[in-house]
Copies of this chain bind each other. A is one copy, B any other.
Amino acid sequence: MIRVDYLTCPGDSGRGIGESAMEVIEVKSGKKIEFIDVSSEVRRALEKMSAGDGLCHLYVPHTTAGVTINENADPSVVRDILDALDRLVPLSGNYSHAEGNSAAHIKSTLVGCHQAVPVKGGKLSLGTWQGIFFCEFDGPRSRNLYVEYAPSSAEGR
C-alpha cells in the first residue's frame, strides 16, 4: 500500500511577495524498490505556494533514493527502468559497505536527487508523457521530497 502525504513545511506561512517557498511531500514507499508518481502532489504544492512563472525544484534529502522524470502513461516503462537499474547495479555484489544497501546508494548517484521543471502561470511545463517519480531504492520507508518554487522575479508570482 502506497501512501503519499502532503505536509506544509514549517515556517512557510507569512511569506512576503516574491519570497522563496518550500513544501515537503511525504512519501511512504511500500516496496524495496519502486517509482512513485508524485506529479499530482507536486502540482498541489505549487498551487499552495501560489506559483507563477519560474522553476520548480525537486530535491530528495536521502542517499538511497532519487527523483526522475519519465513516462507515467504505461506502467511497463517504469518496470523496464527498474529492471535495467537492477541489472546494471545488482542488489547483491562484491560491496564493501556493511549495511547491505550499496546498490541503492549507487542508483541514487546514477539517477540523481535533484530535478527542476519550468513553471508557467503556476503550471508545470511537463511534456505530454512526463510524470515526476520519487525513486525508492531501499524501502519500504517514510521519505521526503522537497518542492522548492523559485519565482524568476517578484513579477513572476
Taking Cβ atoms with an 8 Å cutoff, the residues of A that contact B are 11, 16-22, 53-55, 57, 59-63, 68-71, 74, 76-77, 79-81, 83-84, 88-89, 93-99, 102, 105-106, 108-118, 120, 125-130, 146, 148-156
- A70 close to B109 (CB less than 8 A): yes
- B118 close to A105 (CB less than 8 A): no
- Enumerate 6 A-B pairs (CB-CB under 8 Å) in ascending A order: A19-B153, A61-B128, A76-B97, A84-B89, A88-B88, A148-B152
Expressed in whole angstroms, the Cα–Cα distance for A79 and B102 within the complex equals 10
Which chain B residue has the least Cβ–Cβ distance from A16?
Answer: B155
- B111 close to A114 (CB less than 8 A): no
